[in-house]
Amino acid sequence: MIDVFVELRLWRQFVAVAEELHFGRAALRLHMTQPPLTQAIASLEGLLQVRLFDRTKRSVQLTAAGASLLPQARDLLSRAQALPVHARAAAAGEIGHLRLGFVSTVGFAQLPQWVRGFREQYPQVQLELIEATGDVQLQALQRGEIDAGFMIHSPAFAPAGLQRLSVAQEPLVLALSDPHPLATEAAPPLSRVLAEPLVIFPRRIVPSLYDAIFGMYHAAGSSPQVAQEAIQMQTIVNLVSAGLGVAWVPGSVRQFQRPGVTYRSVGGTRARPVPACETSLVWPSEARNPSLGCFVKFVQAQYAAC
C-alpha cells in the first residue's frame, strides 16, 4: 500500500462539492472558478485511486466511497480548524498534564477542595496526584518527575533553591491515646509532656520541623525519648493509639479521627513555645509547564479567599 499525502485544501474542496452536489455552487462557496475545482477533484481521485463522484451533464452524485469518506473529511477539517485554539490554550496552560506531589497532612484539609475546584476551572488539564514525603518530593523535583509539591516545614525554613507559595500555618498539637492521663486535660502543660515517650517521623523527612521539636525539648533541659519512628502521619497516629507514645502532629491531622486517639493543644511558655508548622507549594525556578502557572494562580486565589 502506498501512503498518500492529501492537502487540507483538497479535502475542503471535496467537502464543498459533496455538500453542494454542484461544481458551480461549490466553486462560488470556495471563492474560486469552476475549472480549477474540477481539476482539484480529479487530482484527489487520482491520488486516492478512487472515484468519489458520479458525474453527468445534469447531476453530480457521491459514489459509495465518496459518501463513506465525507464524515471523516468533515471531522478532519473540524479538528484542523480547532488546532490554533488548542495551541493557544496549551500555551496558556489551560490544556496539559500537571504532576503534583503532596504530603498526607495537606490531604486532610485543603487539597481535596482545591483539586475539585481546579478540575472544574481547568477540565482539560490532567492533574496527577502523587503522595510522597518531603524528601521524596525534593528528589522527584530534581529528576523532573513531578512539577510541584505541597510540603510541610518549620516556618521560614522552606526548601532552598525553589520557588514557593505559603498556603497554611498551624500549630503542632499533641496526639495521645485515650487512656493516657494527659488526655483528660484540655491543655496539658509542656512540662508534663516532655518526659513522655515520643513517636516521631525520621529527621530526613522534614529536617526543619524535626529540629524545631527537638529544640523545644533541649530548651527545657530535656531530651526526647524516641520510642518509635514512622514516615506517614496516619501511621504515627495509629502507633499513638496503640500506646507506644505521644506525638507532635500538625493541627490539620485532627481531621484524621482515629478511634482511641485524642488531640490536645499544649500550653507552652514564652521562653519555650510549641513549634508551628507551615505548608508550602514549591516548584523549580526554571519550571516550563504552563499548567503549573495556572495551578499556582488558582491556589493563590483560594488561599486569599480563606
Q: Are residues 36 and 145 in the same domain?
A: no
* pLDDT top residue among 252 and 239: 239
Mean confidence (pLDDT) of the chain:
91
Task: Tell whether 288 is covered by a domain.
Answer: no
Task: Tell whether 187 is covered by a domain.
Answer: yes
In sequence order, which ranges of the chain are alpha helices (DSSP H)? 8-20, 23-29, 34-48, 64-91, 104-108, 110-121, 134-143, 190-193, 207-219, 233-241, 290-305
Q: What is the pLDDT of residue 130?
A: 95
Q: Are residues 275 and 245 in the same domain?
A: yes
Work out how many domains the chain is built from and give that number.
2
Q: Are residues 118 and 250 in the same domain?
A: yes
Q: How distant is the alpha carbon of residue 28 from its chain centre?
A: 50
| CATH number for the domain harbouring residue 63 | 1.10.10.10
Residues of the chain with pLDDT > 90: what percent? 75
Task: Tell whether 304 is covered by a domain.
Answer: no
pLDDT per position as a tens digit, 226-243: 999 999 999 999 999 999
Q: What is the pLDDT of residue 32?
A: 94
Q: Cβ(303)–Cβ(156) under 8 Å?
A: no
Mean of pLDDT values over 245-265: 91
Q: Are residues 127 and 160 in the same domain?
A: yes
pLDDT per position as a tens digit, 130-156: 999 999 999 999 999 999 999 999 998
- Indicate if the pLDDT at residue 2 is higher than 60: no
DSSP run (H or E) holding 172: strand 162-177
Exposed/middle/buried for residue 6 (C-beta within 10 Å: 0-12, 13-18, 19+): middle
Task: Tell whether 299 is covered by a domain.
Answer: no
pLDDT per position as a tens digit, 91-131: 889 999 999 999 988 877 688 889 999 999 999 999 999 99
Task: Tell whether 289 is covered by a domain.
Answer: no
Q: Are residues 156 and 65 in the same domain?
A: no
Task: Tell whether 127 is covered by a domain.
Answer: yes
Q: How far is residue 37's CA from residue 26's CA, in Å, rounded to a whole number? A: 8
* Last residue of one domain, picked from the residues 34, 60, 91: 91
Task: Tell whether 3 is covered by a domain.
Answer: no
Q: What are phi and psi of 276, to 5 degrees?
A: -105, 170
Task: Tell whether 42 is covered by a domain.
Answer: yes
Supply the range of the domain harboring residue 36.
Answer: 8-91
List, in sequence order, every residue forming a beta bridge with 131; answer none if it has no partner. Answer: 102
